[in-house]
Chains A and B, each alone.
Chain A
Amino acid sequence: MNAMNPIPPPAGPGPGPQPFRLLIAALGGEGGGVLAGWITEAALASGLVASRTSIPGVAQRTGATTYYLEMVAAQPGMLSPVLALNPAPGQLDVLLASELLEATRLASAGMIAPSRTTLIANTARVYTMDEKMAMTDGRIDTARLISALKSAANRTILADFNSAATAAQAPLSAVLLGALAASRTLPIADDALRDAIRREGKTVSANLAGFEAGLKTVAQQSTPASAPTMAGLVPQARVAAPAEFTARTSVVAAEGVARLTDYQSAAYAERYLATLRRFSVLPGMDDAALAELARHLAVRMSVEDVTRVAQLKLRETRIARVNAEAKARPGDIVDITEFMKPGMDEILGMFPPFLARPSIRLTNRFGLSKAAIPLTVTTTRLWGFLRLKFLASLRGWRPHTNKFHEEQIWLARWLALVETTLKRDPRAAREVITTAKLVRGYGDTYRRGLENWDRIATSLIEPALASSPPENFAEQILQARLAAEKDPEGQALNATLAAIQRAQTATFQTAQ
């Protein structure tokens, strides 16, 4: 375990000894500097000559950064080697990366070589702003990153070191040091690394625990893992699945039924099933499309109105989950204070249409449509609890509200479009179903989604159905939806709809 690893044989064509080259990729604030410090100290204590440099700059603020280390056996009379300050691409012995994308970034810069480099990378992701702020799922496919890394390195040690750090209640940097030791690439004994942690003297026990966790994580990885269980992958509805659908649809439908029963009532859920039944026998409706319809219909039928939000926020299970999230110790008291700001349309939406509609017109006239009531409600205390309890108790009243009424109108329009499209172009029908995902969220986000959907329905789907849908109808709807999901200002949607219109006019003129 504590055996020294030999300095690797010369890899370059140059004469004389070659240094061991290690690049650490980290994000600012992750302790990459401390990690590099431990390794340097341990190397020096082991009688090696070591050099290290970094480009921290403003990286403290979560930007990507690197630390580069070189070490070589001390030779009598040759005490001062000229160690390079910049890592030369392809000549690293080890790349140690605290984050998967950053590992890949260095691989794509040609830093690691299949002939030489051992890659140790944390598979946990810290998402970039671009990935996080995308309107839909902007996350890079992890599997693709991993496969690119595996072919780029000589040897890869990939593990979720974040989990190991959390479990050991240790900093990630210490876990990564353990992983580096476990790779058996370093010309430094484990005990020298432990000593470096001790000598640094800050939160020693946590760092040592992290070091051992890193060692263990890698050791466990090298023993073949037990075959993954298929339990999580095979559809296994715990709610009785409606028997009339295929397995695929019935899992979704069962979930929908459970959700809508909770949302409103068993009768309401039955209406959902009835709709699905009706569509399931329509010509052109395939299984995949039906499952997709079952999903969107359930979501759209359980729109998050004031009552629904209040209901979700009073869930008994929340406290336990918040306690875990907040890392509360036994005996701590945890309070949850909700930030809510129902807007005029959401408040007035709770009134029946005959009252709500004139009121909404009135508020619009007086420029109050954007008015809202900011509330902070502590749901873990009686007064806050009672206020939400009252709102949640309005479930029986929901079918009489304007909001519900408007949702029904929207649902009817959407379903009618799906049905008509099914008759003309079943492939496009699937895309019409998916447009429902545009309508979601609260406040402005909800209004914007509704507007975008309405524009696609009014200027693209309905005119096409009124005449004859073009051959690429499905593609057009898909493009319009993706454009609507591109930017919150709707600029991409404008451009896409205009382009589709232009193309159609051109086709029309050619036909003439």
Chain B
Amino acid sequence: MEVSFRKEIANLKLGAGSTFRGEGILAVTKALLQSGVGYVGGYQGAPVSHLLDVLLQSEDILTELGIHLQTCTNEAAAAALLAASINYPVRGAVTWKSIVGTNVAADALSNLASAGVIGGALIVVGEDYGEGASVIQERTHAFALKSSVWLLDPRPDLPTIVRMVEKGFELSEATNTPVILELRIRACHVYGSFDAKDNVAAKVSTNARLAAPATFDYAKLSHPPVTFNQEIDKITRRRPLAEQFILDHNLNDLLGPADGDIGIIVQGGLFNVLNDRLAHAGLSDIYGNTKVPTLILNVTNPLSSRQITDFCAGKKAVLVVEEGAPDFLEQAIGQILRKADLQTKLHGKDCLPMAGEYTPLVMADGLAKFFKASAQTANPAAIVSSPVLPEASTQKRLGEGQGGGAVAASDQLARAADLLTAWLTEHKTRVAQVAAALKTPLPARPPTFCTGCPERPVFSAMKILRQETGAVHVAADIGCHAFGTFAPFSQGNSILGYGMSLASAAAVSSVQQKRPVSIMGDGGFWHNGLLSGVASAAFNKDDGVLIIMNNGYSSATGTQDLPSSRPNDEGRGKGIEIERSLRALGLGWIRRVRTYGVGDVKRLLEAALTSKEKGLKVIIADGECQLARQRRVRPAMASAVAAGKRVVRQRFWIDPEVCTGDRSCIRLSGCPSLTVKPSEDPLRTDPIAHVNSDCVGCGLCGEIAHAAQLCPSFARIDIIQNPGPIDRWKHATSRALMRLFGVERAPKQTTAESVGAAL
């Protein structure tokens, strides 16, 4: 079951005169509707999942505006979707998580970019970089450069983001080039507002279909010989057009005084961090009234050579604030300056680090270095007043008003550097003081499987088996099951991408005596695993074991439906059977198991590892995503109880008198609701295991206690709510008979504290 987005959908219907309030990624969605988009598609992934999730539930909007919505099975399919804009004057937008999604999409993206578009084509990528990111740290910028695709990196405020979506379509159409709009994690989740406009219906849409297909035009094919012309067209026609468009429409923001000895060129997405530190250094305020001339690149590819030379001319030094490696912008700006024979000193990665996120600390350190270096060369004259550059007028409120338009002088720069350095020193002192008080480092808290997750039991079974028969090579994959790489399971030798586990184990199996085990989710299976993994393994007769976690959703990205999801009223699942598709590939050894049966999973895994049968052996581990299940079951149960119906609720419990506190159970389960508490036994000092009230009664505790022959401390509690007369009679009779035989009485106890004090 997917999350409900009723409130967000109401936001998408706002018209001119109302104010949209919400998160960045939903502002993008609204901007698409305002831009007259004809089709939308993509593949889910944080931080851009919501764009699709919300539209999926907005059937009325889609119908009214005639928008086609495609739930793509991977990013390559999403990029290929944009092909509609090659031949037809229809605007399309797709979205995915980058860098990984862009990697998958690369083939289609190159072909799309080469042919070019006549309808605006926008790719909204979540630049999953820095704190909170879950993928390898690379830049989407590289793809934009190599394919000559334009890259927007807007300032993270909603009006700018929305404007960039709208202008992005125009830019795409004006230059026949697809445009990528990248938003970092914090920008996707930034809450803000903008003045809404009416939604616009596309001229060509599902409501207004074209009577005939496009006429045959070989020039629209990414196929030789026209590919050679297309390459030249990108450079000689499309790029100059784009540079001109950027200038004509003031896509980049120019802030601060018109003159000054130094300047800063910053990626739009980093402006807020930059301004915050400039304000701390006394060189700006919270309205962006910077005293240092600043060029904010809301478009980071292409750069307008003219804009760069205009900005740098007359300045002694500029700092390029560009996050991540390689330093594409700095290299390009350096080349522009050199060719224009400008002697402006270029700073960038000499002050700021080449790799890693530009946090406030990193930014402050870089600025301090830049200001210190510049203070010696900058104009020692007093502060001069100077008007704000006309270009800044595109964003009326930003940078206008008090304080703006004063050039920073050299003594001011020196003071700014001192302020930032002092702040960094204070920070170091605070960190050292807390560390001294703590004495020990703090344990990390990585994410883990949810309480009651159906994937946890598989890793429990694998760990029990590992304890009994030794380790095997485990090829891990992308998805919630990647949490199996964390404690207490610590399973997994490599991660090679989404749906790539089986493919990544292909050569491993030939150098191992034991068969490797590959883990894949149903999400990964449909994304890539079926072809890259299973078909290839079947074709090559690879001898390995594949576990497919069939939890029914793409859970890690927000429980979106998959081709194999159960078809139901709310969802889009088609119930396409994983098992049948495996059989169609000629695989023979396929077993299904309910994941919570830890003993069964273990036995099957053992059988797969030791079977005499050659070839791929697949275990389909069935268990519905508990997050989705609870979202459905909990309200249903609550209303049944309220209606007076008989409902049995289950949860687990650990008998505190029987638990001896060795916590083997925790090392095999890792469930968030399985925790520790002080022992009540006055003679035992170590804490004992304890199931807290978050328990959803999945039964894993009991299964582990049995499968690993742990201890008799676990008990299941069945709570019969609104019991019927038969329930009550059976219960009363049992109680009465039991009383006849007598119950056990506990001895009087001293308190644990008193014994603790004695010891």
Question: Would you list which residues of chain B between 397 and 438 have a CB under 8 Å from chain A?
Answer: 397-398, 401-403, 419, 423, 426-428, 430-431, 433-435, 437-438
Q: Smallest CB-CB separation from B276: which chain A residue?
A: A84
Among A18, A130, A261, A449, which residue has the most Cβ atoms of chain B within 10 A? Answer: A130
CA distance A22 to B424 in the complex (A): 20
- Among candidates B286, B289, B743, B746, residue contacting A18 with C-beta atoms closer than 8 Å: B286
Contact A385 B738 (CB under 8 A): yes
Question: Would you list which residues of chain A between 93 and 127 have a CB under 8 Å from chain B?
Answer: 101-102, 104-105, 107-110, 112-114, 126-127
Contact B439 A144 (CB under 8 A): yes
- Which residues of chain A come closer than 8 Å to B443, judged between CB atoms? 101, 128-131, 140
Closest Cβ of chain A to B459, distance in Å, is 13
CA distance A488 to B745 in the complex (A): 35
Closest Cβ of chain B to A350, distance in Å, is 14
Closest Cβ of chain A to B388, distance in Å, is 15
Contact B21 A44 (CB under 8 A): yes
Contact A151 B433 (CB under 8 A): yes
Among B288, B480, B662, B720, which residue has the most Cβ atoms of chain A within 10 A? Answer: B662
CA distance A101 to B272 in the complex (A): 29
Closest Cβ of chain A to B163, distance in Å, is 13
CA distance A82 to B279 in the complex (A): 10
Contact A445 B664 (CB under 8 A): yes
Q: Smallest CB-CB separation from B758: which chain A residue?
A: A251
Closest Cβ of chain B to A237, distance in Å, is 5
Asked if A189 CB lies within 8 Å of chain B CBs, one says: no
Contact B442 A104 (CB under 8 A): yes
User: If A110-B434, A144-B439 touch, does A16 touch B710 (CB 8 Å cutoff)?
Assistant: no
- Among candidates B281, B662, B720, B754, residue contacting A333 with C-beta atoms closer than 8 Å: B720
- Which residues of chain A come closer than 8 Å to B438, judged between CB atoms? 104, 108, 144-145, 148
- Binding stretch for chain B, among A218-226, A323-331, A358-366, A400-408: A323-331
- Binding stretch for chain B, among A56-64, A173-181, A455-463, A467-475: A56-64
Q: Smallest CB-CB separation from B703: which chain A residue?
A: A339
CA distance A81 to B716 in the complex (A): 55
Per-residue B-contact encoding for A332-371, CB less than 8 Å = 1, 0 else: 1111111111110000000000000000000000000010
- Which residues of chain B come closer than 8 Å to A44, judged between CB atoms? 21
User: If A90-B430, A110-B431 touch, does A130 touch B286 (CB 8 Å cutoff)?
Assistant: no
- Which residues of chain A come closer than 8 Å to B187, judged between CB atoms? 53, 85
Contact B192 A51 (CB under 8 A): yes
User: If A295-B759, A313-B655, A339-B715 touch, does A137 touch B709 (CB 8 Å cutoff)?
Assistant: no
User: If A40-B191, A81-B287, A339-B712 touch, does A255 touch B440 (CB 8 Å cutoff)?
Assistant: no
CA distance A316 to B434 in the complex (A): 49
Asked if A486 CB lies within 8 Å of chain B CBs, one says: no
- Which residues of chain B come closer than 8 Å to A265, judged between CB atoms? none
- Which residues of chain B come closer than 8 Å to A295, judged between CB atoms? 683, 755, 759
Closest Cβ of chain A to B260, distance in Å, is 17
- Among candidates A62, A299, A316, residue contacting B744 with C-beta atoms closer than 8 Å: A316
- Among candidates B280, B397, B483, B743, residue contacting A14 with C-beta atoms closer than 8 Å: B280
Per-residue B-contact encoding for A276-320, CB less than 8 Å = 1, 0 else: 000000000000100110010011000010000101111111100
Per-residue A-contact encoding for B660-686, CB less than 8 Å = 1, 0 else: 111110110010101110000011111
User: If A14-B284, A132-B676 touch, does A333 touch B731 (CB 8 Å cutoff)?
Assistant: yes
Contact B448 A440 (CB under 8 A): no
User: If A259-B683, A262-B747, A335-B718 touch, does A129 touch B758 (CB 8 Å cutoff)?
Assistant: no
Contact A85 B272 (CB under 8 A): yes
- Which residues of chain A come closer than 8 Å to B419, judged between CB atoms? 13
Asked if B687 CB lies within 8 Å of chain A CBs, one says: yes
- Binding stretch for chain A, among B102-110, B130-138, B609-617: B130-138
Per-residue B-contact encoding for A367-388, CB less than 8 Å = 1, 0 else: 0001010101001111001100
Per-residue A-contact encoding for B177-199, CB less than 8 Å = 1, 0 else: 00000000111011110000000
User: If A15-B282, A78-B287, A339-B716 touch, does A292 touch B759 (CB 8 Å cutoff)?
Assistant: yes
Asked if A479 CB lies within 8 Å of chain B CBs, one says: no
Contact B132 A65 (CB under 8 A): yes
Per-residue A-contact encoding for B607-638, CB less than 8 Å = 1, 0 else: 00000000000000000000100000000000
Asked if B582 CB lies within 8 Å of chain A CBs, one says: no
Question: Would you list which residues of chain B between 703 and 759 have a CB under 8 Å from chain A?
Answer: 705-706, 708-712, 714-723, 727-728, 731, 733-734, 737-738, 741, 743-751, 753-755, 757-759
Per-residue A-contact encoding for B282-294, CB less than 8 Å = 1, 0 else: 1111111100000
Question: Would you list which residues of chain A between 28 and 43 have a CB under 8 Å from chain B?
Answer: 28-29, 40
CA distance A300 to B723 in the complex (A): 43
- Which residues of chain A come closer than 8 Å to B280, judged between CB atoms? 12-14, 88, 91
- Binding stretch for chain B, among A207-215, A227-235, A417-425, A495-503: A227-235
CA distance A64 to B283 in the complex (A): 34
User: If A82-B286, A127-B675 touch, does A392 touch B744 (CB 8 Å cutoff)?
Assistant: yes
Contact B710 A445 (CB under 8 A): yes
CA distance A340 to B706 in the complex (A): 7
Closest Cβ of chain A to B648, distance in Å, is 9
User: If A89-B360, A90-B426, A336-B716 touch, does A57 touch B47 (CB 8 Å cutoff)?
Assistant: yes
CA distance A252 to B708 in the complex (A): 34
- Which residues of chain B come closer than 8 Å to A109, judged between CB atoms? 431
Closest Cβ of chain B to A425, distance in Å, is 21
CA distance A314 to B708 in the complex (A): 24
Per-residue B-contact encoding for A134-157, CB less than 8 Å = 1, 0 else: 111101100011011001100000
- Which residues of chain B come closer than 8 Å to A82, judged between CB atoms? 155, 157, 271-272, 275-276, 286-288, 398
Asked if A413 CB lies within 8 Å of chain B CBs, one says: no
Asked if A77 CB lies within 8 Å of chain B CBs, one says: yes
Asked if B381 CB lies within 8 Å of chain A CBs, one says: no
- Which residues of chain B come closer than 8 Å to A376, judged between CB atoms? 702, 716
CA distance A133 to B749 in the complex (A): 29
CA distance A148 to B442 in the complex (A): 12
Known contacts A57-B46, A333-B727, then 8 further A-B pairs from the complex at CB < 8 Å, ordered by chain A residue = A61-B450, A84-B272, A89-B360, A128-B443, A144-B438, A255-B750, A328-B719, A339-B714
Binding site for A on B (CB under 8 A): 21, 46-47, 131-134, 155-157, 159, 185-187, 189-192, 271-273, 275-277, 279-289, 359-361, 397-398, 401-403, 419, 423, 426-428, 430-431, 433-435, 437-440, 442-450, 467, 480, 483, 486-488, 556, 627, 649, 651, 653, 655, 657-658, 660-664, 666-667, 670, 672, 674-676, 682-687, 693, 701-702, 705-706, 708-712, 714-723, 727-728, 731, 733-734, 737-738, 741, 743-751, 753-755, 757-759
Could you jot down 5 A-B contacts, CB within 8 Å?
A14-B281, A44-B21, A56-B189, A110-B434, A326-B651
In the A-B complex, the 5 residue pairs with the closest CB atoms? A55-B132, A63-B447, A16-B285, A84-B276, A148-B437
